[in-house]
Amino acid sequence: MISLRIHHRTTYRYHQPVWLGPHRLMLRPRESRDLRLISSEVTVSPPAVVSWAHDVFGNAVATAVFQGMADHLVIDSFAELELNAVAWPLFDIDPSAMVYPFRYSNDEWTDLGALTAQQYVDPGGRLRDWARGFVRGVSTDTLALLKDLNAGVASWISYQSRDDEGTQSPNQTLDRGWGSCRDFAVLFIEAARSLGFGARIVSGYLYNPDMAYLGSSGAGSTHAWAEVFVPGAGWITFDPTNRGVGGSNLIPVALTRDIRQTMPVSGSFVGMTDAFQGMSVEVSVMPTTLTG
């Protein structure tokens, strides 16, 4: 088990005062069997009325409402947590799903719903054909298939960080041969969905103390990865950027259907067309105490 402290600061600056619209904040880590949240606090400058709710996926979402004008906006998120995920997990897959292809139960298929549907157009079935290249035969070990697909993304695509907003479509990533962690995750998820799996995007933080993982320029950063539902085992974590399976170094914040639903901070302002000066994001993921 490891205890971590996370500080995530987002700063917006404007050339002159503007009216700040409501801002939607997804910054609170998700508690689970593997993650115990000790404390979580969000502070905003200028002061705002902050209210909390859960979205349709069960993610904690804060809404900050401002009064008056301001020439800056600073959002600080602080969290302390204990992470107890296993580095090399074993998965108790139901016998009915050990071999691909398999069939989800009627209830599972209904409940997975949109998580089985591809979110990007796949002209000519290019992505589907690429994904099928990892199927070894008429009957393929399910977990081996998913691991091969996960490793295959990193084999085909070179990692390249991108500061610009948005995510490449899977076919764009295949065409370009490079992408960021969110492009890797979307490619993997859409490929898995094309094979009939239920999958969801995960955004949160990567703990990288030894600088051994891609997607971080320091001990920690924001990150995107994937989860696939396999009967018996449940949701299995895959980090295609680092060919990882399991979440021993991953701190989830948001689980969603589409990458566009995972924005940590989103909002608007009203002002002159040239009012926006710039923004910066700083993330620190540091250990507090190590225990056995």
Q: What is the pLDDT of residues 92-149, one digit of tens each?
A: 999 999 999 999 999 999 999 999 999 999 989 999 999 999 998 889 999 999 999 9
* pTM confidence score: 0.92
Q: In angstroms, rounded to a whole number, what is the distance separating the alpha carbons of residues 174 and 190?
A: 12
The confidence score (pLDDT) of residue 292 equals 43
Instruction: Provide the percentage of residues in the chain whose pLDDT is more than 90.
Output: 86
Name residue, tokens 């909002």: 267
Percentage of residues of the chain with pLDDT beyond 70: 94
Strands in 154-219 per DSSP E:
158-159, 178-179, 198-207
Cα 7 to Cα 44, 72, 135, 268: the distances in Å are: 13, 19, 42, 23
Kindly state the average pLDDT of the residues 214-225. 71
Q: Among candidates 28, 30, 38, which has minimal Cα distance to 4?
A: 38
